[in-house]
A and B are shown apart, each in its own frame.
Chain A
Amino acid sequence: MWEHLRDLFLTYESTLGYIGLNSLLALSVYATLSCGQLALSNAGFMAIGAYGATLLTLDAGASFPLALAGGVLLPAAVAVPLGLPVLRLRGVFLAIATIGFGEVVRLGLVNWDHVNGAQGIVAIPQKTSLWTIGLALAVVLFVLARLRGSKWGFALEAIRQDEPAARTMGIPTTAYKLAMLVLGAAIAGLAGGLEAHFTFMVAPNGFSFARVVDMLVFAVVGGTARFWGPVLGATFLTLLPEALRDLAPLVGIEPGPLRLAVNGLVLLGVILFLPNGLASLPDRLRARRRRAAPELAA
């Protein structure tokens, strides 16, 4: 029986690992979304973390924890000079500027010979286990959970709902937004470092605009009203392709396009009908039940 479970585990190790990594990435986007900023720079931060950790391992012979620490601190440091000018920009312009940043990082890597440019680096020692990913995710979730409902969590929520009003209450909104950008960068960098040592390779095209779009989709589908929403979204959308792989031949559509189409339709459905994501489903059902039978309301 145990062998059976172990085989099952090995088959799905990669999927489980990706659920964890994607959850981290979704949470990194959530960090800035929670204060109302649509910052799409996290593919760039992830790349900095991934390559940073990789170079520390391969060039400097650093231990895994040290390499990961580098993968966390480097993007966090970069986030500061990026954030200062860019967080002043309104909504869509912040999005565009951060997309631009991500592209600049990717292009920089493509043109950097030391890391083999577009081909990337392979044969990175596999040091990431499911435990490491799980631990990382637990720590990040803990920090985010503690933030939520605290004085700073409320301040972030206030910034999201009405930034100028929040400022008149003494909340230094730029500093807070910068802090969340840095936090998101650190989380994305951590995920990057972990992924590099999980899949043994890094390449610039793994950190394109499409990557940050994925992260955003995980966070939005899961819902950002709860700190664990993004994890839900990441889990759902990582498992979906696996489930669809078997469905594809039945429906007569190739698995690749099918996965993409379902991703798009799920996202569209969520935005149109469940804008606060899957995590808001229990609230919605409760509200509907309350509307249907008001006398049953608490």
Chain B
Amino acid sequence: MGQQIVNGLFLGSIYALFALGYTLVFGVLDILNLAHAAVFMLACFVALLLVGSAHLHILAALPLAVLAAGILGLVLERVAFRPLRGRANANLSGLISSLAVAIVFEAIALELWGPNVERFPFGTLPAGDPIPFLGAEISRLQLTTIGVAVLFFVALTWLVTRTRLGREIRAVAESPRAARVLGVNVDRVIAASFFISSALGGAAGVLYGLAYNAIAPDMGRSVELKGLAVIVLGGMGSMPGAVIAGFALGLSEVFVVAHFGASYRDVVSFAGLFLILVLRPRGLLGAASLREA
């Protein structure tokens, strides 16, 4: 039981990181960024490259991969989202253009690394014995993952609540027009949001790659859909919601697998998604109304 909690928190922290990125962009732009999972995947490959070919230590490769992910986010915003601003059906077009970029990113990964599953070189993972915790064991990897995730949560909270950029992000999320009138450089804020969002996704990607040690161009697929489930559950646009729901999903999945078997793992997220959308579309902490007029 204790082990399940540990495993659940471990998995949950990755989901939470990923979902946080998703929800940040949704909160600010009201658009679903379907390239998020592709950035997640590319960041992991970048880490693989840095560790495998450049022989960097994973703790050095991680921030660099996260940075690379952020930059990809900037590119994504510039190419796929900014040209669409002001269009009548910006939501649908944004969805589709992000999809297009995701397809291109996946093609790039396929071309550079091929479709086969890659692994981190032996010795990448943090070495050392597992640490006892709650009657169970927490591996060094798990500890690192949860630690990194918590670090990001704290950093993000600080950014959003205590910095000027954070205030501007919240203003733009509330109303871009009003923010512009108040002198906020909306373009810059949106770009920054994408940078942060993709950085979070990238971090999740590297950690996920380390956790499962199976890196492939299609590794983002299942996480992408689960990420959707998480942000809906937590409330679209709500950052605390994304974190709570991410951990909730991680824990639920681990429990379901432990008691019902592996094939039911994904049922949790989708059944949950469905129920929430039908019963309480607002999610746990979401605000905006989701129904039609």
A and B touch in their complex, CB below 8 angstroms = yes
Is B93 in contact with A271, judged by CB distance below 8 angstroms? yes
The interface on chain A, measured as residues whose beta carbon lies within 8 A of the other chain's beta carbons, has a size of 44
Is A97 in contact with B103, judged by CB distance below 8 angstroms? no
Known contacts: A90-B292, A164-B292, A260-B110. The answer to whether A100 contacts B92 by CB under 8 A is no
Kindly list chain B residues whose C-beta atoms are within 8 Å of the C-beta of A194: none
Is A103 in contact with B225, judged by CB distance below 8 angstroms? yes
Whether A281 is near chain B, meaning CB under 8 Å from some CB there, is: no
Whether B258 is near chain A, meaning CB under 8 Å from some CB there, is: no
Whether A86 is near chain B, meaning CB under 8 Å from some CB there, is: yes
Is B292 in contact with A264, judged by CB distance below 8 angstroms? no
Is A256 in contact with B292, judged by CB distance below 8 angstroms? no
Kindly list chain B residues whose C-beta atoms are within 8 Å of the C-beta of A103: 225, 266, 270
Is A268 in contact with B80, judged by CB distance below 8 angstroms? yes
Is A104 in contact with B274, judged by CB distance below 8 angstroms? yes
Whether B134 is near chain A, meaning CB under 8 Å from some CB there, is: no
Is B93 in contact with A275, judged by CB distance below 8 angstroms? yes
Whether B178 is near chain A, meaning CB under 8 Å from some CB there, is: no
Instruction: Fill in one digit per residue for A259-298: 1 if any B CB lies within 8 Å of its CB, else 0.
Output: 0110111011001100100000000000000000000000
Is A265 in contact with B278, judged by CB distance below 8 angstroms? no
Whether B159 is near chain A, meaning CB under 8 Å from some CB there, is: no
- Which residue of chain A is the closest to B91 with respect to CB atoms? A91
A107 to B236, CA, bound (A): 25
Whether B95 is near chain A, meaning CB under 8 Å from some CB there, is: yes
- Which residue of chain A is the closest to B291 with respect to CB atoms? A88
Is A89 in contact with B270, judged by CB distance below 8 angstroms? no
Is B273 in contact with A260, judged by CB distance below 8 angstroms? no
Report which residue of B26, B103, B110, B232 has the largest number of chain A beta carbons within 10 angstroms of its beta carbon: B103
Kindly list chain B residues whose C-beta atoms are within 8 Å of the C-beta of A35: none
**Selected contact of A92 from candidates B95, B263, B274, CB within 8 Å:** B95
Kindly list chain A residues whose C-beta atoms are within 8 Å of the C-beta of B95: 38, 92, 95
Is A101 in contact with B277, judged by CB distance below 8 angstroms? no
Known contacts: A209-B225, A267-B96. The answer to whether A90 contacts B291 by CB under 8 A is yes
- Which residue of chain B is the closest to A275 with respect to CB atoms? B93
Whether A111 is near chain B, meaning CB under 8 Å from some CB there, is: yes
Kindly list chain B residues whose C-beta atoms are within 8 Å of the C-beta of A256: 110, 115
Q: How far is the CB of A233 from chain B (nearest CB, A)?
A: 12
**Selected contact of B229 from candidates A100, A163, A220, CB within 8 Å:** A100
Kindly list chain B residues whose C-beta atoms are within 8 Å of the C-beta of A130: none
Whether A136 is near chain B, meaning CB under 8 Å from some CB there, is: no
**Selected contact of A268 from candidates B101, B106, B274, CB within 8 Å:** B101
Is B83 in contact with A272, judged by CB distance below 8 angstroms? yes
- Which residue of chain B is the closest to A103 with respect to CB atoms? B270
- The A62-102 residues at the B interface (CB cut-off 8 A) are 85-86, 88-93, 95-97, 99-101
Report which residue of B92, B225, B293 has the largest number of chain A beta carbons within 10 angstroms of its beta carbon: B92
Is A271 in contact with B103, judged by CB distance below 8 angstroms? no
The binding surface of chain B is classed by DSSP as helix
**Selected contact of B292 from candidates A85, A88, A96, A220, CB within 8 Å:** A88
- Which residue of chain A is the closest to B26 with respect to CB atoms? A92
Known contacts: A92-B91, A104-B271. The answer to whether A258 contacts B107 by CB under 8 A is yes
Is A93 in contact with B281, judged by CB distance below 8 angstroms? yes
Is B290 in contact with A101, judged by CB distance below 8 angstroms? no
Whether A257 is near chain B, meaning CB under 8 Å from some CB there, is: yes
Is A107 in contact with B267, judged by CB distance below 8 angstroms? yes
Q: How far is the CB of B282 from chain A (nearest CB, A)?
A: 10
Whether B138 is near chain A, meaning CB under 8 Å from some CB there, is: no
Is B110 in contact with A264, judged by CB distance below 8 angstroms? no
Kindly list chain B residues whose C-beta atoms are within 8 Å of the C-beta of A124: none
Is B228 in contact with A91, judged by CB distance below 8 angstroms? no
A155 to B48, CA, bound (A): 54
Is A89 in contact with B32, judged by CB distance below 8 angstroms? no
Q: How far is the CB of B98 from chain A (nearest CB, A)?
A: 10
Instruction: Fill in one digit per residue for A92-129: 1 if any B CB lies within 8 Å of its CB, else 0.
Output: 11011101110110010011000000000000000000
Kindly list chain A residues whose C-beta atoms are within 8 Å of the C-beta of B204: none
A85 to B275, CA, bound (A): 10
Q: How far is the CB of B265 from chain A (nearest CB, A)?
A: 9
Whether B100 is near chain A, meaning CB under 8 Å from some CB there, is: yes
Is B274 in contact with A101, judged by CB distance below 8 angstroms? yes
Is A107 in contact with B110, judged by CB distance below 8 angstroms? no
Is A267 in contact with B100, judged by CB distance below 8 angstroms? yes
Kindly list chain A residues whose C-beta atoms are within 8 Å of the C-beta of B87: 275
**Selected contact of A86 from candidates B221, B263, B271, B277, CB within 8 Å:** B277
Kindly list chain B residues whose C-beta atoms are within 8 Å of the C-beta of A92: 26, 30-32, 91, 95, 236
A-B contact pairs, 21 of them (CB 8 A): A86-B277, A88-B292, A93-B290, A96-B32, A96-B228, A96-B277, A97-B273, A97-B277, A97-B278, A100-B270, A101-B274, A103-B266, A110-B263, A111-B264, A209-B221, A209-B225, A220-B96, A260-B103, A264-B106, A267-B103, A275-B93
Given known contacts A93-B232, A97-B273, A209-B224, what 5 new A-B pairs fall within 8 Å (CB)? A38-B95, A163-B292, A213-B99, A216-B99, A261-B107
Closest 7 CB pairs of A and B: A264-B103, A261-B107, A264-B104, A268-B100, A260-B107, A257-B111, A267-B100
